[in-house]
Amino acid sequence: MRVEKLGGNKLELTNSGDLSIFFVGSGSAFTKKMNQTNILIVKGDDHLMVDCGTKTPQALWEYGLPVFKLNNFFITHTHADHIGGLEEVMLMNRYVMNQKKANIYITKKFRKNLWNYSLKGGAEGNENHKGKQLTFHDMWNPIVPKRLKGLKRDAWQFSVGSLKITTFRTMHTPDTSKSWKDSAWSNGLIIDDKILFTSDTRFDPEMLDFCLQNWDIETIFHDCQFFEGGVHASLNELDSLSDEIKEKTYLMHYGDNWKDFKERVKDSPFAGLVKEGHFYNFSL
């Protein structure tokens, strides 16, 4: 795996064929110095935007990629650092891009929640056609992932061209939940059967076992915070994992005070802190 900086180039939706994960940001929900931990996966002619937080349309624009160019989305959960930029995507697509509908890979249940509790407010009243307001289907082209059976966690699969994505439920909120089963909707991803991207999750060794037992995981991108408690995995908790797991784990979604922990992470077996504005490229 090679880590490469975007540098002064424009962020593109295609590449020469490597599986590439671009970190738009590596920061926490309320980062003021970084961007939010959302990723753009690119492989050959195929791409998938995973989450689109409040800061992401601006961040992408600065990388040279306006949000209306994106064609494929997946959303892990409804916190604003993961969905706050979707209103801009919808309205730009509809009113600047001539009613373009981007694909969104989403289960029916989550689609209803995302629309009714989050997106509807900024969208449905913008037009009125004989009393009919806009719906999710006016804004998006939803594609329902296939439910995977026989696994210990609820999981789904879909493909975007040559890109294979497996998603599974995670344990993020509330901080009192005992497992993914009594947690609010949130999802992690396995990309091309070899890369684990947890998105937001509390420390959940059972989730890591689930992934490592079912897939040949070579790299892990894991949620990490530098304090205890709350709804994310702490560095201390992650430190209790085996060296074998830590060596393949990059930490992400961390706070603006990351410099205070830089040396500690450097001296640990962890692969490192994720660098925003960088590609993590995996040769096929």
Binding site for Zn ion (CB under 5 A): 29, 79, 81, 200
Whole-angstrom distance, CA of residue 271 vs CA of residue 2: 12
Q: State the nearest-atom distance from the C-beta of 52 to Zn ion, in Å.
A: 12
Q: Which amino acid is at 36?
A: Q
Intra-chain end-to-end CA distance of the chain, in Å: 10
List the structure tokens of 242: 């085996």
By beta-carbon proximity to Zn ion, the closer residue of 258 and 282 is 258
When computed from its CA atoms, the radius of gyration of the chain, rounded to whole angstroms, is 18
* Residue 92 · residue 67 · CB < 8 Å: yes
Q: State the nearest-atom distance from the C-beta of 223 to Zn ion, in Å.
A: 8
By beta-carbon proximity to Zn ion, the closer residue of 29 and 271 is 29
By beta-carbon proximity to Zn ion, the closer residue of 20 and 26 is 26
Q: State the nearest-atom distance from the C-beta of 212 to Zn ion, in Å.
A: 23
By beta-carbon proximity to Zn ion, the closer residue of 29 and 49 is 29
Measuring CA to CA, how many Å separate 6 from each of 13, 62, 67, 153? 13, 11, 17, 36
By beta-carbon proximity to Zn ion, the closer residue of 79 and 111 is 79
Q: State the nearest-atom distance from the C-beta of 172 to Zn ion, in Å.
A: 5
Whole-angstrom distance, CA of residue 86 vs CA of residue 172: 21
Whole-angstrom distance, CA of residue 95 vs CA of residue 98: 6
- What does the DSSP 8-state code read for residue 133? P
Q: Which amino acid is at 56?
A: T
Q: State the nearest-atom distance from the C-beta of 276 to Zn ion, in Å.
A: 14
- Beta-bridged to residue 21, according to DSSP, are 41, 280
Whole-angstrom distance, CA of residue 105 vs CA of residue 169: 15
Q: State the nearest-atom distance from the C-beta of 47 to Zn ion, in Å.
A: 21
By beta-carbon proximity to Zn ion, the closer residue of 19 and 207 is 207
By beta-carbon proximity to Zn ion, the closer residue of 124 and 200 is 200
Whole-angstrom distance, CA of residue 143 vs CA of residue 13: 20
Q: State the nearest-atom distance from the C-beta of 202 to Zn ion, in Å.
A: 10
